[in-house]
Amino acid sequence: MTDLKKDAKDSVIVYSGGLDSTTLLYEERERIALALTFNYGSNHAARETACARLHCERLGIEHIVVDLGFMKKYMRSSLLAGGESIPEGDYADENMRSTVVPFRNGIMLAVACGMAEDRGLSRVLIANHGGDHAIYPDCRPEFVNAMDAAMRAGTYVNVKVEAPYTFLSKQDIVKKGAKMGLDYSETYSCYKGGEKHCGKCGTCRERMEAFKLAGIEDPTEYQTENGSHTSSILQGVSPNLGEERLKVNEIFYSLQGEGYNTGRAAVFVRLSGCNLSCPFCDTEHEQGKDMGLDEIADAIECFPAKFVVITGGEPSLQLTEHFIDVLHGRGLFVAVETNGTRPLPGNVDWITLSPKDLFVGNAGKVALRKVNELKVVFDGIHEPEEYDNIDVSHGRFLQPCDMGDAQRNAAIVERTIDYIKMHPQWQLSLQTHKMVNIP
Ligand code: SF4
């Protein structure tokens, strides 16, 4: 008998990173070849996209963020006009009509259909549900049927639309996800786009009600709760992809001092903010200046090197695919140094993973599974065996920890050398910039 699951990657999914489409992503994971997240400049785009990236990376599904910036530029909707424009109330309320983005699903399905046809994929999935019908015409069954007919007629591979939740309520979707063991704190819905769900807009109220009616505990962190904290995946994500600005600690020109690219001239962009507190950290990572993307790219281009190293703090807190695209547009090669606790944009050219969980425990648990180089600070005590199953393409580097004490440092260097001799998959990395005073 043919292994249907193995041979059946025939689908593209329109995937926001919200509750409904994440449920569909997991439900159809065996058949999904490509997930498309559309950035049309909505208030909640960055937070949704961060969730979408996380799940696609976890499932090993290719993920593309498609820029639909023209929609924010030319169309009117409170969903495109900043969090404060979003009305509060239920979806049935007339004022929620202001959140309609004209023909949004039609536009996204058309793009997804073209991408499917291009790759010979015959199915486009979308997660509109029964509760969307009241306000959004392009979520109703008659629209889905008409779009399905148009796409089949307009393609050689007869691309069809499947919208399996069209007649389901949101609580039915929550129940489905609960059965699959989904952690819905790793999804985002709030139309205001704040760090926590506001708990007052139509999407938040619908989300709360769905969990209540499903009889399932709601893991979402709402603004209205006191003393709660945001799901770690959403911490530090800048609120709006459309007007992206990053907090930059410093931009400087030097030579890469450590690891695979040692000695190479590079422009270093140090982004502010970190989600960890390592005991030996000497970076002032809270300071910084808000800069626009082109402003940052202009500053980088003041230097002759085309090699950019984005570091921190923890750069994944702020990095977006859009920013990397801007740098690529300037002909730059983009390397990122990360503690690996959070997903990175899929278009980064080089990933240096420098895990810190040996020093900060669970808070530093590594989420990335595939990187270019692995650089572990070794204190002579915590052996780095736990990283053996990370897929590393260009080298595992062990770097003796600088304890600020010559005698202790000498002992750690000796222990590092012994360890590498016993575990030759590792190689020594020294902080050459400190040794020879590279400015
Ligand atoms: S991950 Fe890096 S920047 Fe963050 S606290 Fe640790 S050493 Fe400092």
Listing DSSP states for 232-251 in one string gives GGGTT--S-GGG-EEEEEEE
* Enzyme catalytic residues: 268, 274, 278, 281-283, 337, 433
Structure tokens at 207: 């989300």
* DSSP β-ladder status, 32-39 and 62-67: parallel
Position 349 confidence tier, pLDDT thresholds 50, 70, 90: very high
Ligand 1 pocket residues where CB is under 6 Å = 274, 276-278, 281, 283, 285, 312-314, 339, 356
Q: Which amino acid is at 159?
A: V
Across 55-82, b (16+ Cβ under 10 Å) vs e yields bbbeeebebbbeebeebbeebebbbbbe
| Architecture, CATH, for domain 4-236 | 3-Layer(aba) Sandwich (3.40)
Higher-scoring residue by pLDDT: 117, 401 = 117
Cα gap 166→254, rounded to integer Å: 55
In this structure, of 2-6, 74-78, 136-140, 429-433, the range with the lowest mean pLDDT score is 2-6
Position 243 confidence tier, pLDDT thresholds 50, 70, 90: low
Listing DSSP states for 271-333 in one string gives E---S---TT----TT--EEEEHHHHHHHHTTSS--EEEEESS-GGGT--HHHHHHHHHTT-E
Check whether domain 245-435 has CATH 3.20.20.70, yes or no: yes
What's the rounded mean pLDDT across residues 193-197?
A: 81
Q: Mind listing the pLDDT tens digit for each residue in 311-347? A: 988 998 888 888 998 999 999 999 999 999 888 888 8
Give the number of the atom of ligand 1 that is nearest the alpha carbon of residue 274.
4
* Mean model confidence pLDDT for the chain: 86
Share above pLDDT 70 across residues of the chain, in percent, rounded to a whole number: 88
Taking the domains of the chain in order of start, what are their residue ranges?
Answer: 4-236, 245-435
Calculate how far, in angstroms, residue 361's C-alpha sits from the geometric centre of ligand 1. Answer: 13
Calculate how far, in angstroms, residue 281's C-alpha sits from the geometric centre of ligand 1. Answer: 6
β-pair partners for 247: 290
54 pLDDT higher than 60: yes
Structure tokens at 72: 């924010």
Contact yes or no for 45/64 (Cβ under 8 A): no
Q: What is residue 342's predicted lDDT score, i.e. its pLDDT?
A: 86
Calculate how far, in angstroms, residue 359's C-alpha sits from the geometric centre of ligand 1. Answer: 10
Cα gap 328→350, rounded to integer Å: 13
Give the number of the atom of ligand 1 that is nearest the alpha carbon of residue 339.
1
Element (H, E) at 43: none
Contact yes or no for 325/345 (Cβ under 8 A): no
Cα gap 173→21, rounded to integer Å: 10
| Complete edge-to-edge strand list for the sheet that includes strand 350-353 | 289-292, 245-255, 265-271, 307-311, 333-338, 350-353, 373-378, 396-400, 426-428
Residues 6+ apart with CB under 8 A from 86: 43, 78, 79, 99, 191, 192, 198, 201
Cα gap 20→14, rounded to integer Å: 11
Structure tokens at 352: 């240096």
Give the number of the atom of ligand 1 that is nearest the alpha carbon of residue 275.
4
Element (H, E) at 371: strand 370-371
Please name the residue whose Cα sits nearest to atom 6 of ligand 1.
278
- Biggest CA–CA distance in the chain, Å, is 76
Among candidates 313, 286, 187, 257, which has minimal Cα distance to 439? Answer: 257
Q: Which of 250, 314, 337 to mutate to test the pocket of ligand 1 (most atoms within 8 A of CB)?
A: 314
Please name the residue whose Cα sits nearest to atom 2 of ligand 1.
313
Contact yes or no for 277/360 (Cβ under 8 A): yes
Among candidates 56, 131, 65, 64, which has minimal Cα distance to 96? Answer: 131
235 pLDDT higher than 80: no
CA 73 to chain CA mean position, Å: 24
Cα gap 317→343, rounded to integer Å: 9
Contact yes or no for 401/430 (Cβ under 8 A): no
* 34: three-class secondary structure by DSSP: strand
Q: What is residue 90's predicted lDDT score, i.e. its pLDDT?
A: 58
Among candidates 201, 184, 147, which has minimal Cα distance to 55? Answer: 184
242 pLDDT higher than 50: no
Q: Mind listing the pLDDT tens digit for each residue in 394-406? A: 999 999 988 778 8
Among candidates 107, 110, 194, 210, which has minimal Cα distance to 151? Answer: 110
364 pLDDT higher than 80: yes
Query: Following CA atoms 115, 367, 324, 99 in sequence, which dihedral angle do they give, to the nearest 10 degrees?
Result: 60
